[in-house]
Structure 1
Amino acid sequence: MHRAPSPRAVEPTTRHHRTAFSGPGLRRRLLAALVVIPLALTAAACGDDGGSEAAADPNKPVELSIFWWGAEGRAKLTEDALALYTKKHPNVTFKKTWQANQGYFDKLATLTAGGDAPDIFQIDDNYLTEYASRNVTLDLMSYKDSGKLDLSKFPESLWNYGVVEGKLAGVAFGENTQGLVFNKTLLDKFSLPAPTTGQSWEDHIAWAANVSKVAKVPGTQDPSADYKAFWVWLRQQGKDLYKDKALGFTEQDVAAWFTLWQGARSAGATPTPDVIHEGNVTDISKQLVVTGKAGTSWVWANQMPELKKNTKDELGVVAYPGDPSAQWARASMYFSVFRGTDNKDVAVDVINFLSNDPEAAKVLGTDRGLPSNLDIRKAVSDSVSDANMKQSIAVQTELGTKFGASPQVPLKGHSKVRSELIKAAEEVQFGRKSPADAAKAYFAACQAAIGA
């Protein structure tokens, strides 16, 4: 069996593991090492991805390694939920390893390349395609089809957002979507209307310019560097961020996006470039909508409670401008099973339990996003007492009625596509390049990032 090492290997209940992995050179070496994985897996994985343990003794002792990122609060909740599973299946125990987000994927790459991958691991849409394409992840489709992995209460677009090249590479462990958060206290103070779902991009910019004029606070953060906003806008144009194994947009699309926001800056709808940069690089606790430097910020809707912790003002949230059907039920993160594990069926059953068991759901709450199982989500939302979380749940539930089909999971290189957009957009924001020139450079960088 494959196990994720903990700081002290003799202590399987170790709760916290931090490793200082950093640097682009090391990252490249780690990813290059993954090339050897398909060969290793040929020997490690017997037969198909489906249940190879059907005839095994259901009472035999099993220890599963599980690896996730998060803070201490998430660790405690996850450990408590896993303890529930062990209570119901006394023969199954867990070697639990977790760490902060920073360095997590470097560590996962090291473990996987070294043949010591966790049986179950947390992953996000930046890396799911990469790991699936290298045959690291178990194809869960047969488990879904047989009902051993019950996704029947998941929104279809949510579980589909774990499919890579026809294989179900991960189970969505929480739902999220894009949210335009606005400062309601500021707007009420000046008797200004709030932005609305369905407002066009041009109308949103005009609304923001009026806020700037009346309230003397820039109406909206400039999202030209925000891949979430660019992605939604592309889908509203009949395009997408990715199409099959290529980019789903053109240089001209990027130039049009940059030009739209160049016009917004000229109209006074946004902050100045130095403040826009501040919003581009700060964490959620310092977004411009809570620091008082803009009337809106472009975030994930489930970040509302965290934003609210950092301001005394009342906040509201709506969909991004344009047709809201361009938004989708995005997996906040996934749990995947290592294809080479000796205990496929048990690992899948653990994920099924964490996703669908009411007791486990009560323990896990909304820490990883809105529960994917809609029945579980309703029960959890009814029990939530925090007003900000209730608001976030209500907004996401309402937006969920307007969602369109999910896009394909991002290609390998997605994190580079995201970071290069910030660089290119800021070249335009600071006037160092025209929208066309910045778009050309960005498109080339994206092509290189995905290996096109």
Structure 2
Amino acid sequence: MTGHISRRKLLAAAVAVPVLMGTAAACGDDEGGDDGNVELSVFWWGAEARAALTEKALALYTSKHPTVTFKKTWQANQGYFDKLATLTAGGNPPDLFQIDDNYIAEYASRNVTLDLTPYKDDGRLDVSKFPESLWKYGEVDGKLAGLAFGENTQGLVFNKSLLDKFQLPAPTTGMTWEQHIAWAVTVSKTAKVPGTMDPSGSYQAFWVWLRQQGKDLYNGKELGFTAQDVTAWFELWKGARDKGATPPADVIHEGNVTDISKQLVVTGKAATSWVWANQMPELKKNTKDELGVVAFPGDPSAQWARASMYFSVFRGSKHKDTAVDVANFLANDPEAGKILGTDRGLPSNLDVRKVVADSVTDPAMKQSIAVEAELVPKFGPAPAVPLPGHSKVKTELVKAAEEAQYGRQTPAQAAEAYVTAAKSAIGQG
């Protein structure tokens, strides 16, 4: 037996911390030092570019609020939530921390996050310029667990240089899944590069496809799909693989496990990758080729204004009022918005978004903004925030898809195994 402790066990241990600390913190105003100064701990994930921008925006806050300084910690995405769970369980959680929809329900259900509803209601947290569906995507069981810190949606990124070289048409928003696969077959035959990454293990793609079938990833506290739905999804992509539209299983595996900087569309191993639209700048840094981006195939109303990530406040923080004010500043101050740009997605505040859009010079950022602007009128309603256990639901989809991709199981067998694992992940009996 090793000494390793799972993130879930660490998070479970963290429950006691906010319960013990939250009572004292809730009784009064923020507790500053003897000199009235406050040092606020802030934790986020991201690359060095995000770190530099965030630190600059926090310095702007300090310039306007000299009694507030920051203890800043950041790291790459990998291992971030293990570290956050460790800090929380160890009684040393950050006052303000970045989180996404993979984990927000889990942290909220364990009473780690502060309910921001009272701050929203009295105006200390201003969401009046946010799209309503966007800020509501931070609600968990009627409590506002996090402030949406950017709008994003799914994006099919393609290698425009490759297509132009062989005089091939670009994919378009609104093409059906079957049309996309047929297009990818043509690319594979003509350019000798697989036309599309196989997204059968991508929860983003599966989720959009489900919504186009009138279903959803979750339905209340249960899965919103059946083994028959998953079988149909896996069969769709088995057909694509059999036609040569995708790379072989070993290369698909690379696309499944790698980070954004090594997606197949930039390593030259596929003409398209299935990502989030705001990741265009990071992709572009890793290729000399020109890239384009459109919506996922099918009816674009299945996509929605997703909160790319949130800032949440620790419920037991001694400086919770200050932490909320900092989050409010970063989201709503135009000067801070210009600093942060679109690194975390399009700014949630629509006025700030316009300021940022007008000031952007990066062509890849302009593409992200343009595709989002094109799709906003077509978006459907946002789904509920994913259930606790969602991160496991995602990883189990990759595992099941790969069983089918490698031919170790039939699509039906892999689908049955996936539904069983996904039900277990969310505690569905």
Q: 2:399 aligns with which of 423, 429, 433?
A: 423
1:396 deviation in Å? 1.7
Report if the CA contact (8 A) 2:278-2:343 is conserved: no
Specify the code of the residue in structure 2 equivalent to 1:197. T
Task: Tell me what 1:85 maps to.
Answer: 61
Aligned pairs for 1:95-110 within 5 A: 95-110=71-86
Superposed, which structure 2 residues align to 1:260-299 within 5 Å? 260-299=236-275
The 5 Å alignment of 1:387-398 reads 387-398=363-374
Percent of residue pairs identical: 75
Query: Of 334, 359, 368, which aligns to 2:310?
Result: 334
After TM superposition, the structure 1 stretch with the greater mean CA deviation from structure 2, 163-172 or 383-392, is 383-392
Equivalent residue pairs, number: 426
Using the TM superposition, give the Cα deviation of residue 60 of structure 1 relative to its aligned residue in structure 2, in angstroms: 4.2
Match of 2:211 in 1: 235
User: Residue 97 of structure 2 aligns to a residue in which SS?
Assistant: strand
Q: Identify if the C-alpha distance between structure 1 residues 403 and 65 changes in structure 2 by more than 3 Å, giving closer, same or farther.
A: same
Cα deviation code 1:313-338 (max 9, x no counterpart): 22111000011111112222111111
Matched to 2:38, the amino acid is V
**DSSP-derived class of the 1:208 partner:** helix
Instruction: Indicate how the Cα distance of structure 1 residues 184 and 415 shifts in structure 2: closer, same or farther if over 3 A, else same.
Output: same
The counterpart of 2:347, out of the listed 371, 374, 377, is 371
Please identify, of 375-384 and 305-314, the stretch whose mean Cα deviation from structure 2 is larger: 305-314
Shift of residue 170 of structure 1?
0.3
> Alpha-carbon deviation of 1:289?
1.7
Q: Distance in 1 between matches of 2:257 and 2:85?
A: 26
1:251 aligns with 2:231: no
Query: What amino acid sits opposite 1:113 in the alignment?
Result: A
Amino acid at match of 2:176: S
Alignment check: 8 A CA contact 2:21 2:317 kept: no
State the shift of 1:42 in Å. 5.4
- Residue 28 of structure 1 deviates from its aligned partner by 4.1
List gaps (5 residues or longer) in structure 1. Answer: 1-21
Is 1:34 matched with 2:10? no
* Contact 1:37 1:135 (C-alpha < 8 Å) held by counterparts: no
Contact between 1:37 and 1:134, CA under 8 Å: does it hold in 2?
no
Normalised TM-score (structure 2): 0.93
Q: CA deviation at 1:228?
A: 0.7
Q: Residues 286 and 91 of structure 1: is their aligned pair in 2 closer, same or farther, counting only changes over 3 Å?
A: closer
Look up the match of 2:37: 61
Q: How many Å separate the matches in 2 of 1:350 and 1:194?
A: 43
In 2, Cα distance between the equivalents of 1:122 and 1:301?
A: 19
- The one-letter code sitting in structure 1 at the alignment partner of 2:40 is L
TM-aligned CA deviation for residue 348 of structure 1: 1.3
State yes or no: 1:145 paired with 2:121.
Answer: yes
In structure 1, distance between residues paired with 2:95 and 2:45: 15
Query: 1:130 deviation in Å?
Result: 0.9
Kept in 1: contact 2:44–2:74 (CA 8 A): yes
Matches within 5 A, 1:72-221: 72-221=48-197
AA of the residue aligned to 2:217: L
Structure 2 vs 1, CA of residues 245 and 73 (structure 1 numbering), >3 Å: closer, same or farther?
A: same
Show CA shifts across 1:330-361 (max 9, x none): 22211111111233322211111111111111
Letter of the 2:9 counterpart: R
SS of the residue corresponding to residue 112 of structure 2 reads coil
Q: Is 1:360 aligned to residue 340 of structure 2?
A: no
Structure 1 residue 71 corresponds to structure 2 residue 47: yes
Farther-moved stretch of structure 1 (306-315 vs 368-377): 306-315
Query: Which ranges in structure 2 are unaligned for 5 or more consecutive residues?
Result: none
Corresponding residue of 1:12? none
Amino acid at match of 1:362: K
**Kept in 2: contact 1:123–1:336 (CA 8 A):** yes
User: Do the aligned residues in 1 keep the contact of 2:305 with 2:379 (CA within 8 Å)?
Assistant: yes
CA RMSD of aligned residues (A): 2.3
- TM-superposed CA distance for 1:226, in Å, is 0.8
Q: Give runs of ≥4 in structure 1 deviating > 4 Å.
A: none
| Partners of 1:328 and 1:341 in 2: CA distance | 33
Question: 2: distance between equivalents of 1:377 and 1:23?
Answer: 47
Q: State the secondary structure of the residue aligned to 1:297.
A: strand
SS at 2:158 equivalent: strand
User: Using a 3 Å threshold, how does the CA distance of structure 1 residues 381 and 261 change in structure 2: closer, same or farther?
Assistant: same
How far 1:24 moved relative to its partner?
6.3
Q: Provide closer, same or farther for how the CA distance between residues 106 and 240 of structure 1 changes in structure 2, counting only shifts above 3 A.
A: same
Q: Which moved more, 1:426-435 or 1:74-83?
A: 74-83
Structure-1 separation of matches of 2:38 and 2:232:
56
SS at match of 1:401: helix
Look up the equivalent residue of 1:177 and give its one-letter code. Answer: T
Contact 2:17/2:316 (<8 A) preserved? no
Q: Deviations over 1:376-432 (max 9, x none)?
A: 111112111111221222112212221111111111211111111111111111111
1:46 aligns with 2:26: yes
* Paired residues of 2:300 and 2:378 also in contact (CA < 8 A): yes
Q: 1:212 to 1:170 in 2, by over 3 A?
A: same
Among residues 339, 359, 370, which one is paired with 1:383 in the alignment? 359
Contact map agreement 1:38 1:134 (CA 8 A) in 2: no
Distance 2:289 2:128 in 1: 40
Q: Structure 1: which amino acid aligns with 2:349?
A: N
CA distance in 1, matches of 2:72, 2:287: 36
Contact 1:302–1:392, Cα closer than 8 Å, also in 2: yes
Instruction: Give, in whole Å, the separation in 1 of the partners of 2:128 and 2:297.
Output: 31
Contact 1:41 1:135 (C-alpha < 8 Å) held by counterparts: no
Distance in 2 between residues matched to 1:99 and 1:279, nearest whole Å: 22
**CA distance in 2 between partners of 1:24 and 1:210 (Å):** 48
For 1:69 and 1:289, the matched residues in 2 are separated by: 24
Following superposition, the deviation at residue 32 of structure 1 comes to 3.1
Q: Residue in 1 aligned with 2:425?
A: 449
Does the 8 Å CA contact 1:219/1:270 hold for their aligned counterparts? yes
